[in-house]
Every structure is written in structure tokens, then in C-alpha cells.
Amino acid sequence: MMNRFSIIIPIFNETESIFKLIDEIFHEFKKITPEIVIVDDGSTDNFQKNFKKKKLKKIKVFKHKYNLGKCKAMSTGVQKASNNLVCIIDGDGQNPPYEIKNLVDKWKKIPENKKHFAIVCGNRRNRVDTLIKKISSKVANKIRKFILNDDCNDTACALKVFRKTDYLKIRYFKNMHRFLPALFKMNGGEIFNIQVNDRRRFGGESKFNFNNRFWVGIIDLIKVWILIKKRSNK
């Protein structure tokens, strides 16, 4: 059934955006509201206080005492989800919630014999971002795809649908969320790409930092490459 999935939203200081996003999700899923799991990754912008004021129902909120990073917040959300099928979406509003239906529909059409470690990945068309982010992301995607052969054109797009049980079989490591297609493929899964729309964030500031992400990304890329090589040599 369409409602038997969970929407995971990791956030860090996204109070200006998250409530607008929630309203849009409720609007898109008027008849069948999926489970919504928000993981507050140590926000300092009074999100918890504002959430209590709004008295929103049908939403689970989990809080990290400290900022542990998007990857850990996403992992917490997946672990706390009640349903096996999960959809990841950013809390800044750049991912339109109507795209969730398209990704879930894509998942439903995957033959049962191909659902083992299958992952549906959103690929942004007409990306709305700063020039430096567009260029760095394009270069990073080409390098990553060439080295890892992960069959995904846009791993930085947060929109993804996969099974909780498959995800939890992968040993957690920091920043693994940037390499999910490669990790799922390493475990025998198939990557399914779908074009999605992009838009400007609702508010707040982007957490993007070119210098930190570039060098950390290179190190993580090497680690994942070694991991895949070890697995293929077994």
C-alpha cells in the first residue's frame, strides 16, 4: 500500500523551512499520510519549542543532544522508522514533496526478484543552486561515478527510496550517505534513477562547505573504493 512507508527528514537549524515542508507533505498525502520521522541533529534554532507550539500530529521527532552530522541523523531516522520502505528527503525545502510519490511509484514497479538491495535515486534536473555548488557537484559526480561505477548521476540529491532492512545490513560509517548507490550495488542491488525537480531552499543557510566537503569526500571515496575491491576479491 502507498502509505506503508516512512519519510525520513534529517534537520539541523531548519526551522525556517521544515514547517513549510511538513505542510506540503500533508497536502500531497491528504488521504493516506505516511509516517513522518524528523531527526533534529542538535539544532540551536528553537525547533523543539516551535514544534511543541504547533501541536502537529502523526509526526515522530527524535533529537540528538549534539550535532552529529547529516549521515548520523539519517541513520537514526531509518532505525526509528516503523515501516520497511523509507524515503529520505532534505528539510530545507529544495526537494518538492510531490517527488516522493514518483520515487515510491518507481519502487513499486521494480520486480520482486530485483528488490534485494534496490535503491531509487532522485537525479535533479535544472538544479537550482550557486554556481560553485553546481560545478563542484558535477565534477565530484563524474569522478565518483568513474571510480566506483555506481550507476548514479547525482548522489548528492537527498531524495532516495530503499528498504530499511537492506540499509541496516551495511556497516555504518561517517558520510556513508554520500555513497549509498555504490554500497547498495556492492551488496548485489540495482540502482534505479529518476529525474526530479529542484528549487530554492525555503530559508536558513546551506551547510555546504566546499573545502571541508572536497577533502573529506576524497578520503571517503578512497575508503569506499577499497571496501568495494575487498568485497569483489572475496
What does the alpha-carbon distance between residue 160 and residue 99 come to, in Å, rounded to a whole number? 10
pLDDT for 191: 97
Domains contained in the chain, CATH given: 6-232 (3.90.550.10)
Question: Is the pLDDT confidence value at 137 over 90?
Answer: no
Which of 98, 128, 116 minimizes the C-alpha distance to 192?
116
Q: What is the pLDDT of residues 77-97, one digit of tens each?
A: 999 999 999 999 999 999 999
Q: How confident is the model at residue 211 (pLDDT cuts 50, 70, 90)?
A: low
* Cβ atoms of 220 and 227 closer than 8 Å: no
Q: What is the pLDDT of residues 37-82, one digit of tens each?
A: 999 999 999 899 999 988 888 899 999 999 999 999 999 999 999 9
Element (DSSP H or E) covering residue 165: helix 164-167
Query: Cβ-count burial of 59 within 10 angstroms (0-12 exposed, 13-18 middle, 19+ buried)?
Result: middle
DSSP 8-state assignment for residue 11? E
Question: Is the pLDDT confidence value at 213 over 50?
Answer: yes
